[in-house]
Amino acid sequence: MSISSLDIFIILGYLVVIALVGSFTGGRQKSTHDYFMGGSNVPWWAVAFSIVAAETSSLTFISIPGLAYISNLNFLQLTAGYLLARILVAVFFLPAYKTGQLSTAYSFLENRFGITTRRYASMVFLLTRIAADGVRLFSTAIPLALIFKTAHYFNDWSNFEIYALAIAIIACVSLIYTYTGGVKGVIWADVVQMSIYIGGALMALWVLLGYDYVSLKPAADAGKLTLFNFDWGTSIADFFRKPYTFLGALIGGTFLSMASHGTDQLIVQRLLTTRTLKDSQKAIIASGVLVMVQFTLFLFIGMLLFSFYKGVPLADPSVPFSKADEIFPLFIIQQLPVGVKGIIIAGLFAAAMSTLAGSMSSLSSSVVLDLYKPRLKNTDDRKELKISRIITVIAAVVLIFVAFTFIALNQSVVEIALGIASITYGGLLGTFLLGLFFKRADQKGAIIGFTAAIIVMILVSVLPITGLIKPIIHWTWFVLLGTIVTIVIGNAFSGKVNRGKS
């Protein structure tokens, strides 16, 4: 790996600037409403940018071009489901959140079922968010650790020490503006960070198009421009195992995005910062359009990389990569000019840190507003704000600790941890749908249904990664399955109508 002093300066400069932007744009907070909901006066377009930045990780930045290199455009079918889901969230979920003046996604569950359901959902969110984002923090630190390894200053450092330093730097920068700026600072930092990583991707595209022999023709000749996949398989079981079929992408993408954008506090927190219900609806729908454009850009880069490397397969020794996820990073490192390389690596950090900062804020808001505040009725704003900032620091420390544990663990364990978030989305969405559309559902049924979905999803999504069983369905169907289990079991164990707090 070769990286110049200018590139390192650009990367370090980015880290300093983003910390300052987030800190100063957050303004002064006088209460938890200011700290966690931005005073409910953030422009809808900034929230839309922030949503897209929050759902875009470094893994997305790296993996989607690689996916296009080894397959085709079928992945883009998911975005149709994503957009449809956000329209449904805008129509059915957001009115319940905004008109009810709710503070978190899970306060809706208290109003509908009772405080126990709210606490249960919040605890599940906390555990899965910590595990998943701890891994994302580790993956974000990898390129920074590789940069450190090229510097002579760290020749005597062990691998663990280098990775630990990289993890600590990224986490601390994210913590600075989350701690001082609150969710408003996080949102405005997200706007800047999305501009940086999209700008970096456009620079990579510009460099690729500068080569005379690079075009979309090789990808077209190889059938890689195929968008729709109407392959139904040879049996029902085969159909559900097929990757990125049209129905799997449309239906699966819809349920996945309904769960992530309608029930996950990481996203819902941002939607609660807008002035009005109409603004939050515009933000969520606009984010669906932006995601379509963003995924198209990264897939287009992958198609041009296929042309750049002349379509050589991964196993060929003539290319410097052996995995799809290595293709775009190695192109950045080996082919891009000085300065441009630093900007794109900064874009990689931007894609990751937006999720990380949002995670710290949403973890803190869920602990304070779902678990702490309901138990104490007479706390003043200043004390609540102080506790909120302390919890934000604790959330950062916990994420750092989780990331540290993955330094010495193998890749399969990392994959298992990343799969943890997928096992809860179906249960969360099913519980919210029970509350919205099934009057008979009560607290007991909701909790039993939620728990049943988690158990089923562990069997379906996690065990195949371990090799204990063969894959049963493709991951695009996971959330739908979990949702169905929750609704069926939840209704079966429900009794009388229960809309009061208990």
- pLDDT tens digits along 21-36: 988 888 788 888 889 9
pLDDT band at 443, cuts 50/70/90? very high
Residues 474, 461: Cα–Cα separation, whole Å: 9
Q: For residues 178-182, give the mean pLDDT.
A: 91
The overall average pLDDT reported for the chain is: 87
Q: What is the mean pLDDT of residues 159-163?
A: 86
Q: First vs last Cα of the chain: how many Å apart?
A: 59
CA angle (168 as vertex; 163, 169 as ends), nearest 5: 100
DSSP 3-state of 222 = coil
CB neighbour list of residue 19: distance below 8 Å, 6 or more residues apart: 173, 176, 177
- 439-455: buried (b, 16+ CB within 10 Å) or exposed (e) per residue? eebbbbbbbbbbbbbbe
Is pLDDT of 321 > 80?
A: no
Radius of gyration (C-alpha) of the chain in whole angstroms: 22
Mean local confidence (pLDDT), 325-350: 84
Residue 419: pLDDT band with limits 50, 70, 90: low
Please report the pLDDT score of residue 52 as a whole number. 95
Q: How far is CA 75 from CA 72, 289, 351, in A?
A: 8, 15, 19
The CATH architecture assigned to 5-492 reads Up-down Bundle (1.20)
Q: How far is CA 389 from CA 26, 353, 383, 392, in A?
A: 14, 19, 10, 5
Task: Give the model's confidence band at 496: pLDDT under 50 very low, under 70 low, under 90 confident, else very high.
Answer: low
Q: What is the dihedral of CA 257, 258, 262, 266, to 10 degrees?
A: -20
- The CA distance from 270 to 183, in Å, is 8
Task: Please write the tens of the pLDDT for every residue from 101-124.
Answer: 678 889 999 999 999 999 999 999
pLDDT score of 412 more than 50: no
Q: What residues does each domain of the chain span?
A: 5-492
CA–CA distance, 229 with 66 (Å, rounded to integer): 19
Taking 50 as the threshold, does the pLDDT of residue 502 lie above it? Answer: no
Q: What integer pLDDT is reported at residue 47 of this predicted model?
A: 97
CB-CB contact of 452 with 491 (8 Å): no
Identify the CA nearest to 30 among candidates 388, 351, 415, 477: 388
Q: What is the DSSP letter of 370?
A: I
**Average pLDDT in the 450-476 region?**
83
Where residue 48 falls among pLDDT bands split at 50, 70, 90? very high
Q: Give DSSP secondary structure letters for 415-459.
A: HHHHHHHHHHHHHHHHHHHHHHH-TT--HHHHHHHHHHHHHHHII
Q: Give the model confidence (pLDDT) of 196-217 as tens digits.
A: 999 989 999 999 998 888 889 9
Locate 143 and state its tokens: 């390129």
Containing 218, the helix (H) or strand (E) segment is helix 217-221
